[in-house]
Amino acid sequence: MTEVIEALANRRSNRGFLPRPVEREKVDALIEAFRWAPSATNKQPWRLLVCDSREGHAAFDAALSESNRMWAPRAPLKLVVIGNPAEQDQDFGQQRWLLDCGLALGQLLIQACGMGLHVRSMAGFDEVRALQGFAIPDPYRVAAFVACGYPGPVEDLPEAVQAKEKRPRTRKVPSEIVHWNRFGGGLS
C-alpha cells in the first residue's frame, strides 16, 4: 500500500524532454494502462491517438495553446485522449465520458512515471483545430493532450518555463478537501 501512495506522491508532470524516442514496448505499456481503466457501466468511451509521424506531430503542435507551445513541441511522444459522449450515458446531466477519459489518462500517467518517462497532460489546446487536424469525426471530442518522453535538462527550456518547472509541487491538506458524513462535517 505504501508503495502505491509513494508512486502517486512522487509522480510529477515535467516539461523537459530529451529528443530520444520512446520505445514501442513502452508505448504499448501506456496503451495497456489506459485501456484497463474503469468506466461507468464499462462503456470505455475513450480512444487514444498516438502521434508518431511528422504530420501527427504537426497537427498536435498546431492545436497547442500559446503557453504550451513554449515546451510541448519538444516531446518525442504526443498523445491525444479522445472521448465519445454518445457511448456513455449522461444521466443527471453528467459528462461521464469525460470522467472515464480522465481515469484512463490518470492510469497512463502513473504507468509512464513508473517507466522513467516524463509526462504532462494538457487542457490548453484548441479543440476545433485538433478535431480538424487529426480528422476526428463527430461525435468524438478531445479530452486532453499529453506530452511524453525521457527527462531532459530544465536548462534547455525557455526561461519562463524553467521558472514554472522549479516550483514545488503542492497539494491541499486533507482537512481542506475531506468532509465527514455531511458537507462541512469534521471528524467526530
Ligand X SMILES: Cc1cc2nc3c(=O)[nH]c(=O)nc-3n(C[C@H](O)[C@H](O)[C@H](O)COP(=O)(O)O)c2cc1C
- How far is C-alpha 94 from the geometric centre of its chain's CA atoms? 21
Does residue number 111 form part of the binding site for ligand X (CB under 6 A)? no
Minimum CB distance to ligand X, residue 170 (Å): 8
Site string for ligand X, 66-85 (x = CB under 6 A): --x-----------------
Phi, psi for 115 (deg, rounded to 5): -100, 15
Minimum CB distance to ligand X, residue 158 (Å): 13
Minimum CB distance to ligand X, residue 164 (Å): 7
Site string for ligand X, 6-45 (x = CB under 6 A): ------xx--------------------------------
- Set of cell numbers at residue 28: 504499448
Interface residue with ligand X among 124, 127, 136, 162 (CB under 6 A) is 124
Three-class secondary structure of residue 2 per DSSP? helix
Largest CA distance in the chain: 59
Interface residue with ligand X among 121, 134, 141, 149 (CB under 6 A) is 121
Identify the CA nearest to 147 among candidates 55, 64, 82, 66.
64
Question: Among the candidate windows 40-48, 88-96, 119-127, 173-181, which touches ligand X by CB under 6 A?
Answer: 119-127
Cis peptide before 158 (omega within 30 of 0): no
Identify the CA nearest to 109 among candidates 101, 119, 100.
119
Residue number with CB closer to ligand X (165 or 183): 165
- Set of cell numbers at residue 179: 468532509
Contact set with ligand X (CB under 6 A): 12-13, 68, 120-124, 144, 169
